[in-house]
Chain A
Amino acid sequence: MKRVWQHPPEPTTGKRYWTSLGQLTGSETSKNLQDREFQDGAEYMKDEEEMETSRRTFLKLMSASTAMAGLGLASCRRPETYLKPYSKMPEWVIPGKILYYATAMPRAGGGTPMVVHTSEGRPTHLQGNKLHADSNGGLDSQAQASVLGLYDPDRARAYSNFGKPSTRDDFFKFLDTKKKELAAAGGKGLAILTDEIVSPTRLRLIGELQKKFPAAKVHRYEAFGPANVRAAYTKAFADGVMPVYHFDKADRVFALDSDFLGLDRVGGQSVGQFMSGRKANTSADPMNRLYAVESNYTITGGMADHRMRVHASQAIKVAAKLAELIGAAMGDAALTAAAASVKTAGYQAGRDDYDIWMKSAAADLVAAKGKSIVIAGSQQPEAVQLLTAAINQALGAFGATIELKQTGVTAAQTGSLADLAKDALAGTVDTLLIVSEADPSFQAPADLKWPAAQDSIKTVIVHSTRHRTATARKASWAVPATHYLEQWGDTRGFEGTYSIVQPMILPLFGGVSDHELLNALLSNEDTPPAKEFSMAPAPMGTVEDPGPGYKLIRDTFAAVVAGSNDDLWNNALRDGFVANTAYPAAAASFNAAPLSALASVPDVAPPSIAAMELTFLPCAKVADGRYINSAWLQEAPDPVSKVTWDNAALISVKTAKDLKVDLQAVDKVNVISVEIGGVVRYYPVIVIPGHADYAVTLTVGYGQRGTGAEGPGRVGQGTGFDVYGLRTSATPYFAAGAKVSLLPSTVTEGLDKWTDHKEITEVWPLGVTQEHHSMYGRALVREGTQEDWKQEADFVMEQGTDGNLHGGRKEKEAENAFTFYKPVGAKKEDGTREPHLNDDLHQWGMVIDLNSCTGCTSCLVACQSENNIPVVGKDQVIRGREMHWIRMDRYFATDLDSDAAGNGRKVENVPFSDDNVWNEDEMDDPSMLVEPVGCQHCEAAPCETVCPVNATVHSPDGLNVMVYNRCIGTRYCANNCPFKARRFNFFDYNKRNPLVEKSIGGLKFNNLYAGPLGDRGDTELGKLQKNPNVTVRMRGVIEKCTYCLQRIEGARIDARSHARKDKSREQGKYDETLEISKQDLRIPANGVKTACQEACPAEAIHFGNILDKESDVVKAKANSRNYELLGYLSVRARTTYLARIKNPNPELIAASPREAKKVGQGSKTRPIALNGHAPAHH
């Protein structure tokens, strides 16, 4: 009120304006009046006398009452957050509307083309790019989760010089000086270490660098890469030749220790191609057949029609046996000779029917020559690769099912990590530039003495997006790299199609791309200083100035694409790739000469209890360790072992028994000690039925040291155990002669050398999401052989509870759907329907084809990304509280009632026992079945009737919807859900970081348990990934699969708003008055895809409108393999399953009782008995 208004000084010239004479004369009264902001009396309301309260009193009262209301009620209110509208709307950005951009994820061997969902400029979700020749639209879980990596708060954010924070300008000033020194020396002392990423721009820049610095050496390292395959194909064909598999053209596939459907990435769409040969619409449809020979149980082995357990070290003997049989059958003398030169004497793979098995498989491959593939795992040594190449050559696979492509990525161009270490120790490396996500200090084979090698290099520059790895912590310079979603780049698919990597967002933490860094080294000019942006920490590119990365890619584009122009470039950006840019076919023909080297391969004896075999594999979660800080991947259960947040040693049942491992253990498992070459490591152990005996499978990547960003990141710290320490360059993938024993007591000694754990106890807690491995005779996953299907079209309805019903499918389904009440959703006499299913246009349904599903868990991560599903941490997983809306049930299976077995061995089904007894044969070599289970959207949903507050209800289009706002969390629905598809948010998982340990008064708490005293609040980064169209659920409510309701609603809105336009288009002109019928508002067939469906590389999930006869889901439901899970409950689930079909070799099952038993042809009940543990008795 008393504020004095400072009037601007009066102009001394020009016109003068005055309001009163007082002002004109400059009287004191007038001046006082003018200086006040409000004139006298302004604080009083007009006609104050007539009012009961003056303005002042009113304000006083108001403020007092507001204060009191605040005092009394403030604590009861929800925390308030504000929406900030754009003051200037960017073009194309509509809140809640997803924009799609094509890009690609550069990866070893071949990039993954993808379409990025962006929302208000933030990439939120990824899907495969179906247009690309090397993709069918599916995406594996690691690619799917890479979007979270963009927002990883622990990833490289700043430049550092010997651990001290530095700046971009300092680094480039250093680099500018350095490159001049190096140029002067002709590049002497310069070494560059890269990964196996196939980027034409990177190859071009490296090529130019090699020209500029002729003495510089380029090395390539990938812990698990195609190096062995490349070496073998270089010898057998020519340098740079690589096989590109066409599983869709193969009728018979023989996978020799190859997880080509899982982690052994040999093609962009191996899974899709393979599954296209198994799309069994009718029993008459031809199906491919898969033989799998492997040590560990992989998802490829799970899909196999015939699987044999063979140690990784013995795969060469199986290859030789196969070569021998095929060589004889095909009359291929070179192959026969090569096979004979391999030492296989007496090898039987530990089974009596080995010869029959191999003979049948070989005969089958020969019969399908020209339509068969024999594939050896990338980790198999050169000898095995050569042998399989020779077999494929004999079978006429090259040119038919396997294309030989000249990739131009030659072995000759580069050295290995071993060469680099040798050079470094010899003191010939002065400057090392590491452009790779690999972490040699952690990953390098122990015998390379990498840490010493790195120490002997004067300048080590590490360029990576990762947290500060062991390598980066010791490096001279750590340079933050851009994530692929924030940079310009390019990559090729496995078959060579050229893809553009375009940025979705400005770099969140600055950083440079690999191309920019290499270019800076290459350029003769000094790097310009960083430009200051007001919003972004460092510039990357704008529309006006797309940055140096853009120009580099444009240059490569011009070289790769003939007649390159802006239109072609824009098309490439739109599509994400350039068509017809695949690698050229290799001209070389097969050279059998290198096969002679097979004779010199030493014979490795099969392992025994005293000298076990170790197999090192990449992890389904963290790969070679690079995804250690990805919470989604950490929590996605391993497809087979179902372990989260850790790696475990996988062993067979027999080995477990011999080692006296507690087979009953659930949450706390035994720990084994593994010693090889004097190195000792300890691992918690998981028993995997079907694993090779006396072999231990260890997945790498875990056990990275350090805390937070100065280590594997806050998510990854303290997870798992180191495996790399056991690897040497001689035994990178498997090693013989390991001493394995049960850890008798807690270990504290010597741990500081390799782990951050202070002690390792004899039992170790493991977060395993599935504790029971048997279906307990329940026919949940139904399967039959192709023969079964031919015999009985509706064989699925003869299994399980449905088998007890009378009549054919129709009668059985009617009986299952029987109700005393009026059938829900049935049309009434007046033609209307029950209100909750009265949408005549849309009724949603889903079909999951178990014949295609491998169990890879890609759907699970896609769902997590799309639906803002929180992670809960290891402790909560142990407590059984994981939040995944779709879970992947995995069962092991042996057939109980197959008469075909006839081997006189009866599986004892002891009445009243928890499980069938542990019959050696059943336990040792079962088959594996997987089944994704989410909300089944029952028409008569048991969850809906029991909710007291109507929080879960049915929508008119047949969805079981969850009203989060209404839910009070009685959890009754979760109890009554027969599928256990409902998830309860036990803590504020979205708000309270479960990975933080909170110390309160000296007591350590998991942050979740610290309650109101714990840390709250998601990081801003974490929020950026959230899908704005999906509610971020709070604690205390149930959540579950919605069939991606947000996508359905989006499509419905589109259908409504486009109806007139679409109809006009049909008529040829826009017509305002056009009659729009109700039918015009229907979403086009297959117009909505759920996130899981979109992500599935096997195309196992069909979703759509079951009222639309054109939709895939209707066709899938018409398949006679269709059955409802727990159909006997009469819940009328909208999600149904298609039974698994096996295509066994009839000759093999006729000849081998054991194999016949395993296949279980003619089995009706398929009560499958196998359990990892008997329950603990309390």
Chain B
Amino acid sequence: MAEAAHDSHHPHAGGPSHAKVLLREPLVLNNRSYSWVTDRICGIVENPQPKGWWFIIVPCVALVAVMAFCFTYLVSTGVGVWGPNHPVAWGWDITNFVFWIGIGHAGTLISAILYLTRQKWRTAVNRAAEAMTIFAVMCAGLFPALHVGRVWMAWFLAPIPNSNAIWQNFKSPLLWDVFAVSTYFSVSVVFWFLGLVPDLATLRDRCKPGIRKIAYGLFALGWRGGNRQWRHYEIAYGLLAALSTPLVLSVHTVVSFDFATSVVPGWHTTIFPPYFVAGAIFGGFAMVLTLMIPVRKIYGLQDLFTMKHIDNMAKIILLTGTIVGYAYLMELFIAWYSGSLYEFDAFKWRILFGPYTLYYYAMFFCNVIAPQVFWWKKMRENLLVVMIVCMFVNAGMWYERFVIICTTLARDALPGAWDMYHPSWVEIWTFIGTFGFFMMLFLLFLRFLPVIAIAEIKGVLPEADPHYDPSKTKGDNIVPAPVYEGDRHETPAPASAPLPSGAAPA
């Protein structure tokens, strides 16, 4: 039995019965019941938060204050408080924008594309990933909105009819960006909220009367879990998934157009859209893992967010990281093969003797070399390794954007105009501040909303099967937890799983 679960991909490693050999690895371990799932997930919201939560959120709020100060200083004083100059008119601002937008990719990919392709393992991940997406896009949106020279005129970007009768320039990729990002954000929010409705109803039903009940009730939109409601819900969810799917590809494609449609050597390349999308998925998954590995540990969600999930996501990171690596090499090849001196120089300086070469190597190591350890199963199973690689990827994706933007601008066509770019303290603290903002929002999400989609995950339990026979779940048919999980917690009796932080079950 244990052997079978140990490696379900190898049929010959199996146990006594043929049927068991073909069993898929369960998505929820330890044969958890509906009520356990509900109790466990709602418990996070209903019980006091562990100390760790407070230890993190307090500095995060402080960082938000720092960020707010930095932005206020920026707007009140001028873009000069940042580091950009004449050849390098974009610095950390757009680097951070692309970085955060990239992170915001995994969420919708998981929730929409994996939904449409019936990848059931997504259920444990999608809620948190979508939340992360929304928060990352919020962080991203701050930069383009506030990096402009005259923030108070930024409404010119919106197609509002005005007395000047001037419309936006629909040829500008920056305008496409505005539409792409805002569409992505609004659709992501709606999609996320729609998925939350049944769970909000669950929370509402478990609440004592009071403000919480009213609030959850308000957002639960009168959900009763009736058959018709579920039917409509499923249709709406499917439609929104279909609507979101192209957005996953479009947003970063459009962001890449900011560079690809320009005439700047080093930016002007057709490889950017697929390379950016792959990079975004890559970075997004790394961020999901970075957040969820601690969350599952702290809140005891190992049975729901299993090693299988981590394994799957590590494989996606390996795949997309390798695609990104291919793109890096192909860029160099094309720069040489094009015969264009300007293009070749741009890449020559990126990799050798240029002003920011170290950033390139950091990028290459983090994004291409580091994820290669995921070829080994042992490494995918070692949560410390997974965390370290994800951290590398997070950093590497930032380096990638910096390399693309700053190294290119610092040396373009006319050497007479070249200059170096150095970030100012305001820029650095603004960026750090957005991490605080992001983490604060995520922690609040953990505090107030179910981190895992309760209704959905119930759908992947054996009980959800119409042919499920409760009498057969006894004896040999109980599927125990796989033993390969290194950090597996104590497996208590299903009915009396203690909640973390010692709270009594509801």
B474: Cβ under 8 A from any A Cβ: no
Interface string of A986-1017 (1 = CB under 8 A from B): 11100000000000000000001111100000
Q: B81-101 toward A: CB 8 Å interface, digit per residue (1/0)?
A: 101111111100000000000
Instruction: Give, as a whole number of angstroms, the nearest-CB distance from B396 to chain A.
Output: 17
B217: min CB distance to chain A, Å: 36
Where chain A touches its partner, the secondary structure class is loop
> Among the listed B154, B349, B419, which residue makes an inter-chain contact with A914, where contact means beta carbons less than 8 Å apart?
B349
A1036 touches B353 (CB 8 A): no
Given contacts A986-B78, A1037-B149, contact A949 B352 (CB under 8 A): no
B410: nearest chain-A partner, CB-CB: A1175
Within 8 Å by CB of A974, from B78, B86, B258, lies B86
In contact, A1036 and B172 (Cβ under 8 angstroms): no
Does A912 touch B at the CB level, under 8 Å?
A: yes
Contacts of A970 in B (CB 8 A): 144, 147-149, 174
Other-chain residue from B153, B164, B413, B419 in contact with A978 (beta carbon distance below 8 A):
B413
Q: Considering the chains assembled together, what is the distance between the CA atoms of A914 and B410 in angstroms?
A: 14
Residues of B within 8 A of A1175 (CB): 349, 353-355, 420
Cα-based distance from A944 to B358 in the complex (angstroms)? 34
Residue A754 CB within 8 A of the other chain: no
B263 touching A1176, Cβ below 8 Å:
no
- In the bound complex, residues from chain A placing their C-beta under 8 Å from that of B173 are 946
Does chain B have a CB within 8 A of A983?
yes
A474 → chain B closest CB, angstroms: 41
* Shortest Cβ distance from residue B471 to the other chain A in the assembled complex, whole angstroms: 65
For the complex, is A584 an interface residue (Cβ under 8 Å from B)? Answer: no
Q: Is B342 an interface residue (CB 8 A)?
A: yes
Considering the complex, give the chain B residue whose CB is closest to the CB of A952. Answer: B169
Interface stretch among A465-473, A714-722, A862-870, A882-890?
A882-890
Task: Let me know if A969 is at the binding interface, CB within 8 A.
Answer: yes
Known contacts A949-B157, A979-B414, A1178-B356, A1011 near B169 by CB under 8 Å: no
- With beta carbons under 8 angstroms apart, the residue of A780, A975, A985, A1010 that contacts B90 is A975
Contact B416 A778 (CB under 8 A): no
Check B148 against A968 for contact (C-beta < 8 Å): yes
Q: Does A984 contact B (CB under 8 A)?
A: yes
The smallest beta-carbon distance between A977 and chain B, in angstroms, is: 9
Give a binary string over A952-979; 1 marks a CB under 8 Å from any B CB, 0 the rest. Answer: 0000000000000011111110111011
- Are B409 and A975 closer than 8 Å at their CB atoms? yes
What residues of A have a CB within 8 angstroms of the CB of B166 in the complex?
949-950, 966
A383 CB, min distance to chain B CBs, angstroms: 41
Given A968-B148, A1011-B73, A1131-B263, A978:B169 Cβ within 8 A? no
Q: Is the CB of A1012 within 8 A of B77?
A: yes
Stretch at the interface among A56-64, A186-194, A767-775, A901-909: A767-775
The interface bits of chain A over 1025-1045 (1 if a CB of B lies within 8 angstroms of the residue's CB, else 0) are 000000000111110000000
A1051 CB to nearest B CB, Å: 27
A interface residues, tally (CB under 8 Å): 75
Report Cα–Cα, A904/B258, bound state, in Å.
Answer: 49
Is A949 a contact partner of B156 (Cβ separation < 8 A)? yes
B345 CB within 8 Å of chain A? yes
Residues from chain A with Cβ under 8 Å of B90 in the complex: 971-972, 975
Residue from A882, A913, A949, A967 whose CB has the most chain B CB atoms within 10 Å: A949
Q: Is B341 an interface residue, CB under 8 A from the partner?
A: yes
Q: Mark B342-383, 1 if CB is under 8 A from A, else 0.
A: 100100110011111111000000000000000000000000
Contact status of A1036 and B79, CB under 8 A, knowing A777-B341, A950-B167: yes
Question: Considering the chains assembled together, what is the distance between the CA atoms of A1176 and B420 in angstroms?
Answer: 9
A1009 with B77, Cβ < 8 A, contacts A948-B178, A978-B414 known: yes
> Is B175 engaged at the interface, CB distance under 8 Å to the other chain?
yes
**CB pair A778 B355 closer than 8 Å:** no
Cβ B86 vs Cβ A880 within 8 A:
yes
Interface assignment of A1177: CB less than 8 Å from any CB of chain B: yes
Distance from B398 Cβ to chain A, minimum over Cβ atoms (Å): 15
A942 to B86, CA, bound (A): 16
Is A836 positioned at the interface, with any CB of B under 8 Å from its CB?
no
B86 and A983: CB pair below 8 A? yes
Asked if B270 is at the interface (CB within 8 A of a chain A CB), the reply is no
For the complex, is B235 an interface residue (Cβ under 8 Å from A)?
no
A666 at interface by CB-CB < 8 Å: yes
Q: Are A945 and B354 in contact (CB under 8 A)?
A: no
Does B261 sit at the interface, judged by CB under 8 A? yes
A1126 to B415, CA, bound (A): 12
Q: Indicate if the CB atoms of A969 and B148 lie closer than 8 Å.
A: yes
Residues of B within 8 A of A1009 (CB): 77, 80-81
The answer to the question of B491 belonging to the interface, with a C-beta cut-off of 8 Å to chain A, is no
A783 to chain B, nearest CB (A): 16
Please indicate the chain A residues that have their CB under 8 angstroms from the CB of B413 in the complex.
Answer: 778, 978-980, 1126, 1129
* B262-A976 in contact (CB<8A): yes
For A1178, what are the chain B residues with a Cβ–Cβ distance below 8 Å?
Answer: 355-356, 358-359
Closest to A881 in B: B85
Q: Which of B144, B147, B168 contacts A949 (CB 8 A)?
A: B168
B76 at the interface (CB under 8 A from A): yes
Assess whether B416 is in contact with A889, with CB atoms less than 8 Å apart: yes
- Min CB–CB distance A58 → chain B (angstroms): 29
A931 within 8 A of B: yes
| Contact status A775-B76, CB under 8 Å | no
Q: Which residues of A contact B167 (CB under 8 A)?
A: 950
Residue B264 at the A interface, CB < 8 A? Answer: yes
Chain A CB within 8 A of B339 CB: yes
Structural contact, A945 and B355, CB atoms closer than 8 A: no
How long is the Cα–Cα vector from A948 to B153 in the complex, in angstroms? 12
- In the complex, residue of chain A having the shortest beta-carbon distance to the beta carbon of B149: A969
Q: Are A1036 and B148 in contact (CB under 8 A)?
A: yes
B335 to A: closest C-beta gap in Å: 12
Which A residues are in CB contact (< 8 Å) with B263?
942, 976, 978, 1129, 1131
Chain B residues lying within 8 Å of A801, measured Cβ to Cβ, are: 340-342
Q: Say yes or no: is B54 at the interface (Cβ < 8 Å to chain A).
A: no
A39 within 8 A of B: no
- Would you list which residues of chain B between 433 and 490 have a CB under 8 Å from chain A? none
Residues of B contacting A972 with CB < 8 Å? 89-90, 172, 174, 258
CB–CB B415/A775 < 8 A: yes
What residues on B are CB-neighbors of A889 within 8 Å? Answer: 414-417
Inter-subunit contact A968/B414 (CB<8 Å): no
Max chain A Cβ within 10 angstroms of own Cβ: one of B84, B264, B345, B349 = B84
Q: Does B212 contact A (CB under 8 A)?
A: no
A-B contacts, 15 listed (Cβ < 8 Å): A777-B341, A881-B86, A889-B417, A912-B348, A913-B352, A946-B171, A948-B169, A949-B166, A968-B157, A970-B149, A971-B149, A978-B413, A980-B86, A986-B78, A1036-B151
Beyond the given pairs A780-B414, A972-B172, 20 more chain A to chain B contacts, judged by CB atoms under 8 angstroms and listed by A's residue number, are A771-B419, A776-B345, A778-B341, A913-B353, A914-B353, A931-B416, A946-B171, A947-B174, A949-B175, A968-B149, A969-B150, A970-B149, A974-B89, A975-B264, A980-B87, A985-B78, A986-B79, A1008-B78, A1011-B76, A1011-B77
8 A-B pairs with least C-beta separation: A969-B149, A1036-B149, A889-B416, A880-B85, A986-B80, A1011-B77, A914-B353, A880-B419
Residues of B within 8 A of A (CB): 73, 76-81, 83-90, 144, 147-154, 156-157, 164, 166-169, 171-175, 177-178, 258, 261-264, 339-342, 345, 348-349, 352-359, 409, 412-420
